[in-house]
Structure 1
C-alpha cells in the first residue's frame, strides 16, 4: 500500500480527486482546445522546420506526458512558437530541413531538452525560472516575433524564399515584393484578419481553424493550386514511427548548447503559465513538478518523431476560460484532434501554405507585446533600453546566439543592481525614534557627529570596493565632522568573504581616525551568520551591534 500511495503522489496528480461534475466543463474545453490546436500545431511544426503532422504528434505527446507527470490542472503542452525558431536555428546549421537527418536531430534535441528539465526537477531548480527579467523576456519575444514574420513573408506572398540571415531575407522580400501572387497573398491576409478578428471578439472562437478550412475549400472549389497557390499536399496519416535511436556523442555535443537554451526558455515559460493559472490560487504549487511534465513531454515527443514541446500561455488561457477543470480536457482534445485528422484527412492536402503563414504571423503578432513595452517605458526608460537591446540581439544575430546573449544581458542587469546599490542617508523623523530617508522638503532631526547610512544590497565582492568608496565619500563630505558611523543593515541580506574583509578593514581604519562604527538592524539570519563566521562581529564588537538605529544612538561612545 505505501508503494501505491507513493506512485499516486506523482502519477496523474492533476486527476487526483476528480469530480464527475467537472466532466462537462472538460469536454467543452477539449473541443475549444482542439479547434485552436489543430492550425496552431500544424503551423508551429513548419516554423521548426518539421513536417506539419509532427506538430500534432508533439501536441499528443506533450499533453499525455504532462497529464501523467505534471501537477497543474490547466497547463496545455505542445509545439510552441516561442521555442520553434530556436529549434530551427539550432538544427539548420547541422542538417537540411525536410531531410531524415534533420528530423532525427530534432528528436535528439527534444530528448536532451527533456533530460535537462527532468534534472531541474530532481535538483529542485525552480529558481532558474526567475533568471530572466520581464524586460528581457519582452524584448526576446519581440525578436522572436520579428524572426517569425520575416521568415513567413515569402510563403505569405507567394514568392521564393532564400537562405541567409534575417536582414538578408528581409531585404530580398522587399526587393521582390512586387512579384507577389494575388491569390496567395489574399489567402494569407484573409486567414490573418480572420484570426485577429476572432481573437478580439472572443478568444474561444477558433478563427485560425475557420480560416484554414475556408482556405482549403477555396483551393478545392476554384482549383487555386492550378493558379500558383502552393498547398501542403497529402499528409501521412497514421501512428508515428518510433524510430529514435541512441544519439552519438558528436550529435550530443553539437546539440547540447541549443538544448540548454530551449530548456531554459521552457522553464521560464512553464513557470509563468503555472503562476498565472494555478490549480489552487491559495496553494503552494511546485513548479519543478511541471518542469518534469514538460520534460517528459519532450522525451515522449522524441520517440514520436516530433520535436521539443513547451507550456503554452494562450492555449492554457483557453482551457481555463472554456471551463476546463483538469488535464482530462487536454486528453479529450488529443482524441478529438486524432478523430478530425482521420475523418478529414483529405481536406488537409488542400490547405494553402499561405494560410499556415497567416496563422504564424498571427501568433507572432501576439508575441510582440506592444502594450507591455509602453508600460515598461513609462515606468523606467532604462529598462525599456534593455527591452530594445534584447530584441536587437535576437534580430541581428543568429537566433540561438541572440537568445544566449539576452540571457547574459538579464544576468548582467541583475548583477549591476547589486554592484552599484543605493546607499541612502537616514535622518530622524521629528518627535519619533524612526530613522528614514526623508524628502528634501521634510522636517528632520540630526544627531551631532552621527552619520547613518543604509546600503540596499548584499555586500559581495562585486560591490565591496564601491561601498567602501561611497562610505568614505559620505564621511568626507559631511558638513560636521563625523565621529560615529551607523550602518543600518536591514537591506543587507548576505555578506561574502570579500565584503566581510572590506568591512573589517574599514572599521579598523575609521576607528584609527577617531570615527567609531556600529551596525544596526541586521535582521537577515544569513547575513548575521556570515558576519559571525567571518570574524566581522569580533572586529566590530558585540556591544556595537544593535537592534535599531535609535538604540545605537543611545549607546554612542562618549
Structure 2
C-alpha cells in the first residue's frame, strides 16, 4: 500500500487555492464556538478543544484520504467518555484530564489497527434505527448536562434522573439574564442556519453574547463567563495514570473507537472525493486515529470526524485538506494572539451552541420516517434511546451496539424457505404467487432460500424443507434447492445441509442444487465435504437445467 504522507500538496497545483482559503476561514468560524463548547461538555477548559482540533486537522491532512473531512472535538463521543471517566476521577481534575488523554491514545491505537486490518466493514454493524436511537440518547445527555449553564443554576453530578430532579427543585433560582443570553444565542444560531447556512451563526452568537455581557455589565449580576483562557502551548508527553485504571479504559476505548468508525465511514461516504468512486474508509480511520494519538500526546481528548463541519467545507468550495489546515492556523493564531477575546464569553451562550448541536443530532425526521414504515424498528429506536439515557453512557452505548447486532441476527433468522413455480411458456422458476398461474412438475419440489446459510438459520431451513416435502402431493422424487442467494455457508450449516441431503435420499428423493453462484459458498461445500454427499452431476446452473436433466419425463401438474 503506497505511503501517503502530505501527498495532498501534490494536487494543490491543480486546486483552487482561493477556494480552499475561503473554505478554511469559514470552517474556523464554525469550529471556534463548537470546539470550545465540546471541550466544556467533556469537562475540559475551552482551549483544550482548540488543541484537539489542531491535532485532528493536521493529522488527518497528513494521513487521511478524504479531501473534505474535518476531524476534531466532537459532541457525539464527548458525553460517552466524560460520563465514564467521571466514575474514575472528579470531572476537570488533573487525574480526569490524564485519563482522557490516555483514552485518546488507546482509541487512536485501535483505529490504526482498524486501518491495518482493513476493518471498514465494522462501520456497517450499526443499523440506522439503532444509530438514530443512540444519537437521540446522546442529544438528551447534552440537553440535561447544559441546562444548569443555560438556567444559571449550580452544576449537578449524578445520573440523568437525579440531575433533572435537582434542577426541578431549584427552578425558582433560575437567573433571567443568564437564560436570556443562552436562549438568545440559541435563537441566533437557529435563525442563521435557516436564513444563511454558510454564515458562521454560532460565532456571531458568541460575539453578540460577549458584547451584551460587557455592555450591560452582566458579570456583576451573576452571569458566568469563561474567564481567562490559558495560552500555554502544550508539550508532547505521555499521560501518567495508575495501572489499575487501564482495564477500565480498554473497554471504553473499544466502544468509542466503534462509534468513531461508524461516524467516520458515514462522513467519508457522504462526501466522496470523486463522484462514483468508492471512498477509502480504512485510510480515513488512519487519519482520525493519528489525530487521536496526537491529541492524547498534547493533553487533549479523542477526536472524531464531523459530518456538519465536513459539509461546510464541501459547500463552501473546499478542494483539499488545505481547508482544514487553514482553519487550524486561524485557530492557532486565535490562541496565541486573541485568547483575551474569549474571557467574556458567557457559559450560557456555549450551552446554547451545544443545545443547537443536540437538536441537530436528534433526528426526528428519521424517526418519523421509520414510524411510517416499520413500527418494530421504531421500538428499536426507542429502546436504544432509553438505554443510552437511563444507563451509564458507556453501558447504554454498549447495549446499543448489542441491540444492532441482535437486530441483524433476528433479520437473518427470519429467512424462510420459499416454494418456486415455473412461469408458463418459459424456463423461469419464480416464487409462488398464490394466484395459481405458475406450473409445477409432478414429483419435483423446487425451493429457494434467500439468505446466507449459517448456524442462525440452518435448523429452520432443515425443518421447513422437511415440512415442504411432507406437504407435497405426490411425494417428490426430486428436490431442487435454488441457491442464488446463498452467498455463504458456515461449518454448522454445511453439516445440517449434508444431513438434509441424506434424509431426502432416505425418503426416496434425489437432491440437486441450482444457481449456486457464490464462489465462497461453493468452496465451503467442497471444504466441508457436502459435495461428496451431494454426488457428481448434482450442481446445475439453473433450475430448468436441473429438472430437464434429472426429471425429463415429469408432467406439468394442472393448477
TM-score of the pair, normalised by structure 1: 0.96
Deviation at 1:503, TM superposition (A): 1.4
Range with bigger deviation, 137-146 or 538-547: 538-547
Deviation at 1:136, TM superposition (A): 1.0
Q: Choose from 24, 31, 36 the match for 1:37.
A: 31
Deviation at 1:251, TM superposition (A): 3.0
2:362 corresponds in structure 1 to 368
Q: Distance in 1 between the 2:120 and 2:91 partners?
A: 34
Q: Choose from 179, 189, 193 the match for 2:187.
A: 193
Deviation at 1:222, TM superposition (A): 0.9
2:270 corresponds in structure 1 to 276
1:97 aligns with 2:91: yes
- Secondary structure at the aligned position of 2:229 is classed as coil
Deviation at 1:428, TM superposition (A): 1.1
Q: Distance in 2 between the 1:246 and 1:68 partners?
A: 27
Q: Distance in 1 between the 2:169 and 2:240 partners?
A: 45
Q: Choose from 482, 486, 489 the match for 2:483.
A: 489
1:209 corresponds in structure 2 to 203
Q: How many residues align?
A: 552
Contact 2:84 2:392 in 1 (8 A): no
Q: Choose from 424, 429, 441 the match for 1:430.
A: 424
Contact 2:159 2:392 in 1 (8 A): yes
- Secondary structure at the aligned position of 1:452 is classed as strand
1:162 corresponds in structure 2 to 156
Inter-CA distance 19–157: structure 2 relative to 1 (3 Å threshold): same
Q: Distance in 2 between the 1:13 and 1:85 partners?
A: 35
What is the root-mean-square deviation of aligned Cα atoms in Å? 1.6
- Secondary structure at the aligned position of 1:10 is classed as coil
1:305-358 deviation line (CA, Å, top 9, x unaligned): 110000000000000000111111111111112223444322211111111111
Correspondences of 1:223-234 after superposition (within 5 Å)? 223-234=217-228
Contact 1:150 1:166 in 2 (8 A): yes
1:538 corresponds in structure 2 to 532
Q: Distance in 2 between the 1:282 and 1:137 partners?
A: 25
1:473 corresponds in structure 2 to 467
2:556 corresponds in structure 1 to none
Inter-CA distance 383–15: structure 2 relative to 1 (3 Å threshold): farther
Q: Distance in 2 between the 1:290 and 1:324 partners?
A: 18
- Secondary structure at the aligned position of 1:209 is classed as helix
Inter-CA distance 479–199: structure 2 relative to 1 (3 Å threshold): farther
Q: Distance in 2 between the 1:416 and 1:127 partners?
A: 19
Deviation at 1:438, TM superposition (A): 4.3
1:123 corresponds in structure 2 to 117
Correspondences of 1:392-431 after superposition (within 5 Å)? 392-431=386-425
Q: Which runs of 5+ in 1 are unaligned?
A: 1-5
2:42 corresponds in structure 1 to 48
Q: Choose from 289, 300, 309 the match for 1:315.
A: 309
- Secondary structure at the aligned position of 1:40 is classed as helix
- Secondary structure at the aligned position of 2:16 is classed as helix
Deviation at 1:379, TM superposition (A): 2.6
Correspondences of 1:133-532 after superposition (within 5 Å)? 133-245=127-239, 247-441=241-435, 443-532=437-526
1:3 corresponds in structure 2 to none
Contact 2:182 2:352 in 1 (8 A): yes
- Secondary structure at the aligned position of 1:256 is classed as helix
- Secondary structure at the aligned position of 1:425 is classed as strand
Q: Which runs of 5+ in 2 are unaligned?
A: 554-559
1:203-247 deviation line (CA, Å, top 9, x unaligned): 211111111111111111111011121111111123124343455
Which runs of at least 4 in structure 1 moved beyond 6 Å after TM superposition? Answer: none
2:557 corresponds in structure 1 to none
Deviation at 1:378, TM superposition (A): 2.4
Deviation at 1:148, TM superposition (A): 0.5
Q: Distance in 1 between the 2:7 and 2:16 partners?
A: 16
Contact 1:14 1:70 in 2 (8 A): no
Range with bigger deviation, 232-241 or 526-535: 232-241
Q: Distance in 1 between the 2:432 and 2:465 partners?
A: 19
Contact 1:420 1:466 in 2 (8 A): no
- Secondary structure at the aligned position of 1:453 is classed as strand
Contact 1:14 1:72 in 2 (8 A): no
Contact 1:111 1:299 in 2 (8 A): yes
